Structure 1
Amino acid sequence: MQGNNDYPLSEVPEESRKGLISMAAVLLGFTFFTATMWAGGSLGTAFNLNELMGIIVIGNLLLGIYAAALGYIAYKTGLNTVLLGRYCFGEHGSKLSDFVLGFTQIGWYAWGVATIAIVLTTLLNISESWQIPLMIVFGFGFCITASIGFRAMELLSKISVPLMLVFIAISFYQGLVDVGGMVALIGLEPTDSMQYSAAITVVIGTFISGGTQATNWSRFSKTGRIAVLATLAAFFIGNGLMVFIGAFGAMIYQQADIVDVLVAQGFMVTAILMLFANIWTTQDNTIYNFAAAGCNLFRTKQRKLITIVGAGIGTLLAIFGMYNLLIPFLVLLGTFIPPIGAVIMANFWFVHRAAPPKLNDISLPTFDYCGLAAYFIGSLTAYLSPWMPPIVGMIAAAASYMLLVTITASHKQAAKVS
């Protein structure tokens, strides 16, 4: 793999493609994340179980379809999202998506670094003065597997994902025992309120940024079927499970994080193991995403260097309080990230008819104003929409892009005729 550099500025060749188990393990490790459970916790106190399951299914199905569509494009082209952005935003215009996607991923990394330091000091009952040193240790420690590349993250995920599933099963069983069974769980009434559309937005926002950049791994798929199935497994089933577990814990124990729930259930050692497995498998994926965006932004193949720099930035953000900004951050992601993926999909299927030329075989404009305008239209529409901003933003971005491309092509044709 180019010295384990994972092709930051080029297509993934056939000899480096992976099978379903490898792809699913890495992507599930990515979506098994504490922050998603926290978002689920806000839903668990606002809806009864029947309403909650409907929200989880709808929100994660939409998220899964979106991520799987991008996953198929990544398989077909061998490119990740930031490289695909050159086709529809231009050589330099694509740096907009690099910045937006890179910023969101470094935000998640900061949140994860702060989370493990704060939770660990609480669990071990040690002084808060240890939190900043621990943030520094984990901030740079979690980037080790990402700096090595796909193979290291694959190995970590193949160990961690099965372990986490076992821990989740133990916690779920104990939760049912403590609440008095399924009938009692179904009978629990919500204590807070939230609009249905806002709940769907929170579910989609939990991993819309990650779904947009899951192409960093789905481009390694051997077949389109593997890319789609692995992505659906992660973003529909995996992310949905995390939302549900967070809601489940909040409904019974008033704790969304499964680590806190396991502690409440008396499983301290399991809780610590879950904490490390849960955070690490997402942190290395997140900083890997940041490095991919950074490589395209600066047109450099120094992925490992960008990874370490990103870890440093994320650690600083963690030290300065990123931990307290989760829910506003999710709403931000759900509004401004989806239009990027929508424009890329419209470019792939509408402009190139699912067969774009190789990146080095096509002359691209410095700025593609159709793509950039469509992204801003989609983002503005999502921001102003009172109903499911992510969905509205994607539709507006894709539709406006196709319209602008059609008008531009018509004008060019008319100019040639005249």
Structure 2
Amino acid sequence: MQTETKKVEQNTDIYESAFAPVPESQRKTLLSLTAVLAGYPIALSNFVIGGAAGVGLTFDKALLALFIGNGILIAIVIITGLMAYETGLSTAFLSRRAFGKNGSSIFSLLLAMSSVTWISLNGDIFSRLIKTTFPWWPISIPITAVIVILIWMQSAIRGYKGLEVVSFIGVPAALIMSLVGVIAAFNATNGFAGLTSYIPEKPMSFTAATASIVGGWVFGATITPDICRFAKSKRDVVIAGLVAFIVGCFGLQLAGALVALATGQGDFTLAMAELGLTGVAFVAAIFCLWTTQDNNIYGASLAIQNVLRETSAKGKVSHMQIAIAVAGVSAVFAALGIYKYILPIIQFLSVLIPPVPGLLTAEYYFVKNSKENITTNWLAMLAWVLGGTTGYISLKTNFFIPPVVGMVAAGVIYTVLSKLFDK
């Protein structure tokens, strides 16, 4: 049995190093790491987030919100990324150190659920964008959504190599399309004249803006260890994390804010249409969605492998098979118009996911007593629930930044409980 397990863990290509640390021979260059990391946050939702902040705040406050929000996200990426580099483990397998075997399986199922939710939602949204942009499009929205997700699947089933190919093409293309939009907005407003004097018609609070920036991408920041485990050095993790999220998150959000301010439209697609750039917006959407959703399929596959590790199915299902299954379920949900029903799911996950980076950080850097060999660490489970509850209260009372509150609370509670009761 031990020999069989060893063979499974050594067969890194079939299982995408799911059961063991990424070997030195498969670590990637800084350029590759940066491109793949950047591909994830280069997403259509970042235009929307930036656009909402742009039209809801004065320009200086919007800029400050973007700086603070992305600073928090980058900190999560680098801290968890360094853990992944040192251990060679994915997000799901890192969670074993805090939660134990069964506890990490619960977290992994939530990761997979969150990924499927976002894949299906974006598949549905993009199929509707196709139908709106090209009224002559002959295929129905549900079938189009299925086709779109199956296309995203093509790079995900090929593992890191597939993500790398799409990122090397999609990241520059998405950035160029975004720059075209910013230049058009610049020209349409005589160099953004009146930018600093802009007064929003429907103001949003600074807290709400910052919370949307962090909340919109805290899930993405949480699963970046899936990519950072391929780093060759700590330096590469720091540089790749900084560049990827400054360009992908902050850069696209700033572009969304500028275009929104120039047109008065918080919706990126409508704003680009007003600038006469519908085609540019559509091309940008293609690459933004592909480089993000293939990462979601990839991450969900790794999370499910973590669940299977404690069952008789360990080593019997390849990365490709699980990735196909994840894409298939997402395609079915998208075809059924899941976007109408998943808002409560998204809100639920937005409360439960943020505390986890706090728990992982507390265990790895402060408690330093890995629980990967025990069944369930109930101290971590309790800290997780309390951290999520604290974040939810923060959300309902509009206090500070709810994801950060939940993250810090979970980390502090876990550290204190561990110091008192962890034997």
Length-normalised TM-score, structure 1: 0.90
In structure 2, what residue type is equivalent to 1:375?
W
* Pair 1:288 & 2:298 matched: yes
Alignment of 1:221-240 (within 5 A): 221-240=231-250
Inter-partner Cα distance in structure 2 for 1:244 and 1:389? 22
1:380 to 375, 389, 398: 389
1:359 alignment counterpart: none
Alpha-carbon offset, residue 156 of structure 1: 1.2
* Pair 1:208 & 2:218 matched: yes
2:85 to 47, 66, 75: 75
Inter-partner Cα distance in structure 2 for 1:27 and 1:242? 14
1:320-350: CA deviation from partner (whole Å, max 9, x where unpaired) = 3344679877655543212111111111111
Label 1:52 to 1:363 Cα distance change in 2 as closer, same or farther (>3 A).
closer
1:369 alignment counterpart: 378
Inter-partner Cα distance in structure 1 for 2:323 and 2:273? 33
Label 1:99 to 1:158 Cα distance change in 2 as closer, same or farther (>3 A).
same
Give the conservation status (yes or no) of the 8 Å contact 1:204–1:334: no
Inter-partner Cα distance in structure 2 for 1:351 and 1:370? 12
1:306 to 319, 322, 327: 322
2:207 alignment counterpart: 197
2:413 alignment counterpart: 400
Label 1:24 to 1:256 Cα distance change in 2 as closer, same or farther (>3 A).
farther
2:333 alignment counterpart: 317
Label 1:325 to 1:20 Cα distance change in 2 as closer, same or farther (>3 A).
farther
1:416 alignment counterpart: none
1:352 to 356, 368, 372: 368
Inter-partner Cα distance in structure 2 for 1:158 and 1:257? 27
* Pair 1:390 & 2:403 matched: yes
2:354 to 338, 351, 355: 338
Give the conservation status (yes or no) of the 8 Å contact 2:12–2:18: no
Inter-partner Cα distance in structure 1 for 2:347 and 2:55? 18
SS of 1:110 mapped into structure 2: helix
Gaps spanning 5+ residues in structure 2: where? 1-10
Alpha-carbon offset, residue 370 of structure 1: 1.3
SS of 2:35 mapped into structure 1: helix
SS of 2:101 mapped into structure 1: coil
Gaps spanning 5+ residues in structure 1: where? 357-361, 413-418
Give the conservation status (yes or no) of the 8 Å contact 1:56–1:244: yes
Give the conservation status (yes or no) of the 8 Å contact 1:72–1:227: yes
2:6 alignment counterpart: none
Alpha-carbon offset, residue 398 of structure 1: 0.7
Greater CA deviation, 181-190 or 201-210? Answer: 181-190
SS of 1:31 mapped into structure 2: coil
Give the conservation status (yes or no) of the 8 Å contact 1:259–1:274: no
1:415 alignment counterpart: none
CA-atom RMSD, angstroms?
Answer: 2.2
Percent identity of the aligned residues?
Answer: 27
Give the conservation status (yes or no) of the 8 Å contact 2:231–2:237: yes
Give the conservation status (yes or no) of the 8 Å contact 1:249–1:257: no
In structure 1, what residue type is equivalent to 2:420?
I
Inter-partner Cα distance in structure 1 for 2:61 and 2:45? 21
Alpha-carbon offset, residue 177 of structure 1: 1.0
Give the conservation status (yes or no) of the 8 Å contact 2:50–2:255: yes
SS of 1:18 mapped into structure 2: coil
SS of 2:384 mapped into structure 1: helix
2:98 alignment counterpart: 88
1:382-402: CA deviation from partner (whole Å, max 9, x where unpaired) = 111232111111111111111
SS of 2:150 mapped into structure 1: helix
Label 1:26 to 1:259 Cα distance change in 2 as closer, same or farther (>3 A).
farther
Inter-partner Cα distance in structure 1 for 2:52 and 2:291? 23
Label 1:62 to 1:400 Cα distance change in 2 as closer, same or farther (>3 A).
same
Alpha-carbon offset, residue 174 of structure 1: 0.9
1:22-64: CA deviation from partner (whole Å, max 9, x where unpaired) = 0110111111111222222222221011110000000010111
Give the conservation status (yes or no) of the 8 Å contact 1:202–1:331: no
Greater CA deviation, 187-196 or 209-218? Answer: 187-196
In structure 2, what residue type is equivalent to 1:6?
E
1:244 to 235, 239, 254: 254
Inter-partner Cα distance in structure 2 for 1:180 and 1:352? 57
Inter-partner Cα distance in structure 2 for 1:251 and 1:324? 29
1:131 alignment counterpart: 141
Alpha-carbon offset, residue 312 of structure 1: 1.6
In structure 2, what residue type is equivalent to 1:277?
F
1:62 to 61, 72, 76: 72
Label 1:321 to 1:187 Cα distance change in 2 as closer, same or farther (>3 A).
farther
SS of 1:315 mapped into structure 2: helix
In structure 2, what residue type is equivalent to 1:304?
M
Greater CA deviation, 269-278 or 130-139? Answer: 269-278
Label 1:384 to 1:258 Cα distance change in 2 as closer, same or farther (>3 A).
closer
Label 1:330 to 1:173 Cα distance change in 2 as closer, same or farther (>3 A).
farther
Give the conservation status (yes or no) of the 8 Å contact 2:55–2:265: no
Greater CA deviation, 154-163 or 270-279? Answer: 270-279
Label 1:251 to 1:71 Cα distance change in 2 as closer, same or farther (>3 A).
same
1:52 to 62, 71, 84: 62
